[in-house]
Amino acid sequence: MGQPVNVGVVGCGAISAQYFRTIDRLPQLRLVAVADLDLDRAREAVGPYAGVDVLSVAELVADPRVDVVLNLTVPAAHAEVALRAIAAGKDVYCEKPLAATAADAARVLGAAADARVRVGCAPDTVLGTGTQTARKAIDDGLIGRPIAATATMTTPGHERWHPNPDFYYVPGGGPLLDMGPYYITSLVTLLGPVASVIGAASRTRAKRTIGSGPRQGEEIPVTVDTHVTGVLVHASGALSTLVMSFDGTATKAPNIEVHGEAGSLVVPDPNRFDGQVLISTGKDGWIDLPESAGYAEAGRGVGLADFAATPAGEEPRAGGALAFHVLDVMESLLAAARSGTSVAITSTCERPLPVALRPSDQPD
């Protein structure tokens, strides 16, 4: 193995701790600097990790030690931070979504192409053993030709646990743009790119009440739809039915099911790296499939390691083209909900390469 890739992180919010733990245990990555609008929060976040500098954003993107900028800011700031890093000649790996809008995401990818740097993007959960084992089952023909899928995420809303949930309820947020990337990235990984969508959406109330932290009891405005449903028509002909909601109490529906001509799969939560994969061919009920593909014992940031290990000229599995397509699908689904008509997806992407079963510290 060569020298580790030096990572500079912009944004030290709630998700950063998971990335820091993964970077710390993967020998192919090294955390060298962090930046945040709140420098005290940045210092506290990296307190357990020795030798990490706390810098301004301008200092971090200009730092010659930094090979890749890990962008963990709120969605509304994703494009701005990514463009600053690209202008400094840095590769960028972004927390999902790639940007708040497809137009901003296109600017990021265009700037990266001009600068000859690479863009990657979460979610990387689909590189774990859960989704990858299900994908291998499909690729091996265990359920025959895939014809349909369902994907369901129902929760009362993140304000119950998140101390600063405001960004979930403004443009760039909502259940689709927040959780949809996990589900749609998984569906594209399993069934390939999407050609068109139809949809409908609603919201139940104009305000939400924060349930924890120093702002507990404070009301925040809701300016986006909080229940979105639709049908994704994949280029392969398969149809995926999607329900993303911050308005339900609970559900017993599987996170994802895939139905083929010869069988059906239950796919685990795409917000996790692992989980039980079940298959039914109509003979012996549901059978547990053993792990057969994907990064084992993975955590958030394994996609960054995979990105860093991808040879020049190849599209990373958690790459910008996939992230842009997923964002385009989500934005088009919201447009379809507003218009009441089918919307064609103008972008596409290659179905990401599969991941053979391997430890997470051994990228392909």
CA distance 170 to 133: 35
Amino acid at 197: V
CA distance 129 to 268: 10
- CATH number for 5-121: choose from 3.40.50.12500, 3.40.50.720, 2.40.37.10, 3.20.20.70: 3.40.50.720
Residue 351's CB: how many other CB atoms inside 10 A?
16
Q: What pLDDT band is residue 76 in, cutting at 50, 70 and 90?
A: confident
Q: Which alpha helices (DSSP H) does 267-319 contain, by range?
A: 302-309
- C-beta separation of 236 from 149 below 8 A: no
Torsion of CA 349, 354, 359, 363, to 10 degrees: -50
Examine the pLDDT at 84 and tell me if it is beyond 70: yes
Higher per-residue confidence, 197 vs 170 = 197
- The helix or strand, by DSSP H or E, that contains position 114, with its residue range, turns out to be helix 102-115
Q: Is 4 left (phi over 0), alpha (psi -120 to 50) or beta?
A: beta
- Buried b / exposed e across 203-220, counting CB within 10 Å, b at 16+? beeeebebbeeebeeeeb
Tell me the pLDDT tens digit for each residue of 215-253.
999 999 999 999 999 999 999 999 999 999 999 999 999
Q: What pLDDT band is residue 1 in, cutting at 50, 70 and 90?
A: low
Among 244, 227, 238, 229, which Cα is nearest to 198's?
Answer: 229
CA distance 75 to 92: 15
CATH number of 125-294+325-344: 3.30.360.10
Over residues 153-169, mean pLDDT: 92
Among 99, 69, 95, 87, which Cα is nearest to 324's?
Answer: 99
Over residues 332-349, mean pLDDT: 97
- C-beta separation of 183 from 191 below 8 A: no
Global pTM reads: 0.94
Q: Delimit the domains of the chain by residue range.
A: 5-121, 125-294+325-344
